[in-house]
Each structure stands twice: as structure tokens, then as C-alpha cells.
Amino acid sequence: MIHVGVNLTWLRPGQVGGSEEHLTRLLTGFVDDPDFDLTLYVLESFALAHPELAGAFRMVVAPVAGTNRLRRVVAEQRWLVSHMNHDEIDVAFHAGGTMPLRPGPAPVLLVHDVQYLTYPQNFGTVKLTYLRAQVPRSVRRASVVVVPSAYVADRLAEVFDTDRSKMRVVPHGVGAVSDPAVPFEVERPVILYPAITYPHKNHVTLVRAMAEMQHEATLVLTGGEAECEELVMDEVGRLGLTGSVRRLGRVPVEELERWWATASVLACPSLYEGFGAPLLEAMVRAVPIVASDAAAIPEVVGDAAVLVGGTDPSEWAAGLDSVLEGARPELAGLGLKQAENFTPSVAVDRLRDALADAHRRAG
């Protein structure tokens, strides 16, 4: 049996979007695995938010809250390294894109994306400096590098001159929805966009497209608030769209499922995705997609979406109108077919192989 120490000390629940869901699904796949024994090193907030994992694995809680980045990094460098040594792990799985200076035995690094290379302006000076120093060093020192898409693997190989052979693509995985939720009663078609208002999520272009659409529709925005929240809501007001845009913020899982059941189309105007979890969520629910032709998005959706250039509201309006008027009736079926490439079992099996490969390389 391989003892894997999983570094989750970077993960504050509700703050990292699809990365948290991706990881919790992956970890769930290791419950009662006869070949792997997992110890999770976590923040207290993570343990409280995921009791299902706390009951399945040994969890070691870090002595920091995670709200102060400097304290968290120091804890990772000292506290985490000490505990991993004490626990005699075989493979150190660092799931947050960087590793401490002493990463532990057979280090495996999960890099969710490298957005900072494409859009450095979206990052504060301190964080950008940290990423520029730590990500290349971590990628070089990792025995195996896990990524969610071939796009991220190619970027790492290109920018850091990294051996592509040590990279393993472990995509997000979502199972089929066997019991769909009850849709909301609505008067107009619903365009759904579940995303935190980060700059790269490009909400403003979508709001502007609403003002140019031929079809009357309601745009439902779920997800937490970030840097662009005020900008987005100001644009809604400026364009007179308060009756057409519903900004719900974070909603319970049950409510989000009802919006998925209600949605006529998923809009994903994001300018950068290392994978794009909502795309997969839409496909398994047979919800048609209009998305940006950026980063990993084309790789994930294949031919199961209408792809649009990033920031032209007129193009977005035309793309959304085309789906609402039924110009691509085959999209739902194509989405279900494409989603078969991204099941939980595929993702977990690939991560198992990556961890076992690192253990073999360590000899």
C-alpha cells in the first residue's frame, strides 16, 4: 500500500471555485482503496466544510486559518514538512500548484492552470511575484506533474522547458445526473453563468451581449464576489438590465441544481480556463453551451458548443440567439457524448496511475 500525503493547506473552502470540487471528487474516489492510504493536511475550515472526507481519511489540521498568505506559506514550509516526515509518507501530493522547498518523497505536483502567464495583470504584485518564483521551481522539482488538460501541459512544457513525459493529464470528472432537479417556473429562457466575478471570467462582455440580443432572456449569475463585482453590477444598471439580470451570488447546491434544470443555455465567456468545470456540468445535464474559444475550453467541449471570440458583445449576442432559436438542436446530445470522456472513474484512475508512477520513480 502506498501512503500518500495530500497537501491541501492552500485550500480555503469557497475561494478556489472548480479546483475545490475537482479535488474533493478525486479524493472521494480513494475511499476504501486497497492500494492507497491517504493522509490529508488541511485547514480547519476545509475539515469543517467536508465532513464526508474527514470521516473517510486521516486529517491533520494546520495551525493557521489560511486567511493570511504569509503565515500559510510559512506553515507549509515548516509545519507541513515536519508532519509529512513524521508520518512517513511514500508520496507527497501537493495539489495547489506549488511545493515547499523540501517537498517530501516522490513529490507530485497538481497545477490547475497557469493563468498568471497569460494575464499577469489579474494578480496582485505579491502573489504574482510568488507565482513567478515558485511555480517554475516546483514544476522542475516534481517527480510527476498532474494537469487538468493538455492545454496546461503544453503551456508548462513550452514556457518552462519541462519534460512533457513527466506530465499526466487528469481531467475533471462528473457523473451522469440520474435524478434531475425540478426546474423553476420562468417566463423567459434562462442563460446561466456560474462563476466568481474574477477579471478573467469576463462577466461584463456577457452583460453587454444581453443588451444586444434579439431574444428576450434572463441572465442568472451565481458564484461569489471578487474584484469585478462592482464593475459588473454597474454595467447592469447602466444598460438598464436590472429586470433581465439576476445576480444570486453563492447559492446552495440544491438551488444551483434547479437552475441547471431551468437553464436553456450555459454561457461561459471566460478568457482563461485550465479546464472549465461548468462546461462539464452543463454537458452531463444536456444543457447547450456558448463559450469562449480560449485556453482549454475548445479541448473540453469538442464540437459540443458554439465557440465565440472573447470580448465582442455582438458576437456573443449572435451566439446566444442562435442557440435560443434552435439553430444547433444537436448540441445537447453532443454534450452528453463529449462528457463520456470526463467521468469520475477516468479521473481517479489517471490520478492513481500518476501517484503510482511517482512511487516507482522514487524506487
Q: Tell me the DSSP string of 130-161.
A: HHHHHHHHHHHH-SEEEESSHHHHHHHHHHH-
214 in the same domain as 146: no
Residue 253, number of CB atoms within 10 A of its CB: 7
CA distance 149 to 354: 14
Mean pLDDT of 95-110: 94
163 in the same domain as 209: no
CA distance 274 to 112: 6
| Collapsed DSSP state (helix, strand, coil) of residue 261 | helix
β-partners of residue 208 are none
Q: Give 158-194 pLDDT, tens digit per residue.
A: 999 888 899 999 999 998 888 889 999 999 999 999 9
- Taking alpha carbons only, the member of 359, 356, 360, 263 closest to residue 30 is 356
What total number of domains does the chain contain?
A: 2
93 in the same domain as 194: no
Q: Give 188-215 pLDDT, tens digit per residue.
A: 999 999 999 999 999 999 999 999 999 9
* pLDDT at residue 17, rounded to an integer: 67
Cα dihedral: 183, 280, 197, 257 (round 10): 20
Beta strands 218-222 and 306-308 are: unpaired
- Taking alpha carbons only, the member of 213, 196, 177 closest to residue 339 is 177
237 in the same domain as 117: no
10 in the same domain as 51: yes
> What nine digits make up the cell of 139?
514544476
β-partners of residue 110 are 146
* pLDDT at residue 361, rounded to an integer: 85
207 in the same domain as 93: no
Looking at the domain assignment, is residue 185 inside a domain? no
Q: Give 271-300 pLDDT, tens digit per residue.
A: 999 999 999 999 999 999 999 999 999 999
Domain harbouring 89, CATH code = 3.40.50.2000
The single-letter code of the amino acid at 184 is F
Q: Taking every pair of C-alpha atoms in the chain, what is the biggest distance, in angstroms?
A: 64
Contact 265, 191 (CB under 8 A): yes
Looking at the domain assignment, is residue 62 inside a domain? yes
210 in the same domain as 139: no
Looking at the domain assignment, is residue 180 inside a domain? no
Looking at the domain assignment, is residue 184 inside a domain? no
347 in the same domain as 320: no
Q: Is the pLDDT of residue 65 over 90?
A: no
Looking at the domain assignment, is residue 133 inside a domain? yes
143 in the same domain as 119: yes
| Collapsed DSSP state (helix, strand, coil) of residue 208 | helix
Residue 238, number of CB atoms within 10 A of its CB: 11
Cα dihedral: 82, 359, 25, 9 (round 10): 20
124 in the same domain as 199: no
231 in the same domain as 205: yes
Q: Domain range holding 275?
A: 190-339
Compute the Cα dihedral for 155, 159, 162, 163 and give only its sign.
Answer: positive
* pLDDT at residue 67, rounded to an integer: 83
Looking at the domain assignment, is residue 262 inside a domain? yes
Q: Is the pLDDT of residue 69 over 90?
A: no
349 in the same domain as 209: no
